[in-house]
Structure 1
Amino acid sequence: MRALRYSINVTLDGCCHPEAGVAPDEELMRFWTARMEGADALLYGRVTYQMMESAWRKPPTGTWPDWLDGWEIPFAEAIDRTPKYVVSSTLDEVDWNAELVRGDVEQAVRRLKEEPGERISVGGVTLPLALADKGLIDEYEFVVHPVLAGHGPTLLAGLRERVRLELVDRHDFRSGATALRYRPAPPPALARADKR
């Protein structure tokens, strides 16, 4: 079964607007490129899909624009070729190596997780909240930027129930950002039984 990993940039005060953090440098882009290359598929809602497509879709000429730094191209290549699933009730079609997901999102995501492979990466704000509420996210990865935004959408705002997490990996960047990867913690009774 494929794990579903939610990865996102976030400020110290929880803002997850794409422009709220520190602009990615070469080290951070290498990190995100490795994460992208390790995903079998990407799962996005409409807003995130359209935002990522406008930023990272390879132009029809087949040549990346001059404004893209050379160290950004590996990420651009990786996201461009990775299969994508787009949850939307308003889009009629998608391309960019993508397929629409309609109907019961929970059942659709469960089917995607059952397909062969290692990992599906989910991004955005609204869709991950719905998936977290259903207990479908296997890993949470937050790249915390040393910024206080003071505004904007906050991470998992409106989550119905508290989700206990355990830290499984940490990586510090020269920029001051820190990548923290968590998995849902077992219920306290199970955790105590495992320690016996």
Structure 2
Amino acid sequence: MRKVSFCMNISLDGYCDHTLGEPSEEMMEYFAGMMDDVDLLFYGRVMYQLMFPYWADVARDRSGSAAEIRFADRLVAIDKVVVSQSLEKVDGNTTIIRNDPATELRTLKQQPGKTISVDTVSMLPDLMAAGLIDEFKLVIHPVMAGSGRHLLDAGSLPKVLKLELAETLIFKNGCIALHYRKRK
């Protein structure tokens, strides 16, 4: 059975917004390395549209640092599933699903393969409630946002999920990567 990993950048006060942080070359190497064990990306529409076509353009144009290009190349090569009611068209190795993301993810998890990376805040409570997330990789940025989308809204989980710390990385720019796994 495949592992499902939830990955997200967040502010110190718990807001998820890709524009808050200032990724360094060191962090981009970390993100690129994370993708080496991933063979499927599972996105919501908003995250998919934030990531693409931006990273596809970086891969095509070779416009970025060496770490950004490595990350872009890996991201573009990985198969993607996008959950969306409104998205009409996607490019390349991307599939759109319209309904029941938890059932779809459960089916994908049972297939042979590497890690499935889930990068969507909107579906997180439902996927957690269904017991589908095996680990969390959060990169905490040294900023207080004060507004935006929280990682989880109050009351969005049916029960407390206890985790164990697997790894901590501290970056020179003040960001901290936390890797947690579900307790066994």
Alpha carbons 1:53, 1:96 under 8 Å: kept: no
Residue 66 of structure 2 is aligned to residue 64 of structure 1: no
* Unaligned residue ranges in structure 1 (runs of 5+): 187-196
Alpha carbons 2:62, 2:69 under 8 Å: kept: no
Matches within 5 A, 1:15-34: 15-21=15-21, 23-34=22-33
SS of the residue corresponding to residue 126 of structure 1 reads coil
Matches within 5 A, 1:115-130: 115-130=111-126
Matches within 5 A, 1:123-142: 123-142=119-138
SS of the residue corresponding to residue 92 of structure 1 reads coil
- For residue 151 of structure 1, the aligned residue among 144, 147, 151 is 147
Alpha carbons 2:32, 2:74 under 8 Å: kept: yes
How far apart are residue 104 of structure 1 and its match? 2.4
How far apart are residue 145 of structure 1 and its match? 1.3
How far apart are residue 103 of structure 1 and its match? 2.5
Amino acid at match of 1:32: F
Q: How many residues align?
A: 182
Alpha carbons 2:25, 2:65 under 8 Å: kept: no
SS of the residue corresponding to residue 40 of structure 1 reads strand
Alpha carbons 1:57, 1:80 under 8 Å: kept: yes
Alpha carbons 2:32, 2:67 under 8 Å: kept: no
* Unaligned residue ranges in structure 2 (runs of 5+): none
In the other structure, the counterpart of 2:3 is: 3
RMSD between superposed Cα atoms in Å:
1.7
Provide Cα deviations, 1:6-29, integer angstroms capped at 9, x if missing partner.
0111111111111122x1110000
SS of the residue corresponding to residue 150 of structure 1 reads coil
The structure whose residues are more often strand, as a share, is 2
Amino acid at match of 1:79: L
SS of the residue corresponding to residue 147 of structure 2 reads coil
Q: Assess, with a 3 A threshold, how the Cα gap between structure 1 residues 63 and 130 changes in structure 2: closer, same or farther.
A: same
SS of the residue corresponding to residue 122 of structure 1 reads strand
In the other structure, the counterpart of 1:183 is: 181
In the other structure, the counterpart of 1:81 is: 77
Amino acid at match of 2:61: W
In the other structure, the counterpart of 2:50 is: 51
Distance across 1 between alignment mates of 2:4 and 2:183? 15
How far apart are residue 65 of structure 1 and its match? 5.4
